[in-house]
Each structure stands twice: as C-alpha cells, then as structure tokens.
Copies of this chain bind each other. A is one copy, B any other.
C-alpha cells in the first residue's frame, strides 16, 4: 500500500510489478491520460497543480480506505503534477487481489474518490492558445483561467 504525488513521468509497468503477488489471482491497472479533445476543444497539454501536503494525505486516506473495504494491501497509486503532454499519464492505480471482482472494484473506488476528494487541479491548454482550469462541477466543464472573471457557473 503506497501513494505519492510525483513530478516525473509515471511508469505503469513498475506499479503493476509492485503489486504483483502469487497470492493474487488478478491485477488491475488504471491509467489516466491527457486527452486530445475535451468538451469539443483541441487540447495541447495540461498543467496539473496540487495542494501538496493535503493531496498526499487525501490520497493516502483513499488507499487505506480501499484496502480496508476491499481486503487487499496491494494497492499503489501515483499522481503526477506539472506540465503533461498529450497522451501522458496523470494517474496510475495498480491493485492486486486474490479475487478479480475486488481488484476491479478497488480500482474503480480509488479513481472515483480521487476525482472527488484529492486537491489537485488541471489547467488545459488549447490549440487556440487559451487555457482554462477544468471545473468538473460546471455544467459545461471548464472555468477560464487568467480570465477567471469572465467565467460563469453556467458554463
């Protein structure tokens, strides 16, 4: 069981190896990546920023809760921050478990909780040169950054 906020490229293979165990019947890997298009706009990259100490604390709490809830110590999560290019991994979640159902449920639990609770933000850069903070609570999804005053909650 381990979690970290890191500023280097993530290595899914290393995390998969880290949770591997002959007591496990299944391992799952979740890799979140920077997508080329979001809300119909051409994305060229994403800056991830975190409230570091709290993000680490929340991430650790999620992993501990998943471990307790699904019954495996073999959960490792790394979230990357900084400037990420298209296709690069922002998060990797590796789980292994004696049983496949729990390996998959733990994976899903961790990513959903991360999205809800961990104080990390992302600013998308678009092909037209603009950039915006992504607000998953907004109707349309992104809050303009830099020009924050122009944003509306109805976006």
Q: Which residues in A have some Cβ–Cβ distance to B below 8 Å?
A: 12-13, 16, 20-37, 86-87, 96, 98, 100, 103-104, 107-108, 111
Question: How many subunits of this chain does the assembly comprise?
Answer: 2
Known: A87-B20, A111-B100. A28 touches B29 (CB 8 A): yes
Bound-complex Cα distance A91 to B16 (A) = 15
Q: Tell me the interface secondary structure of chain A in the complex.
A: mixed
Please name the residue on chain B nearest to A37 by beta carbon: B23
A108 to chain B, nearest CB (A): 5
Known: A13-B12, A28-B30, A108-B104. A98 touches B35 (CB 8 A): yes
Q: Can you identify 21 A-B contacts, CB atoms within 8 angstroms? A: A12-B13, A13-B13, A20-B33, A20-B87, A21-B87, A22-B33, A22-B35, A22-B86, A23-B35, A23-B37, A24-B33, A25-B32, A26-B31, A28-B29, A28-B107, A30-B104, A33-B96, A104-B104, A104-B107, A104-B108, A104-B111
Bound-complex Cα distance A16 to B86 (A) = 16
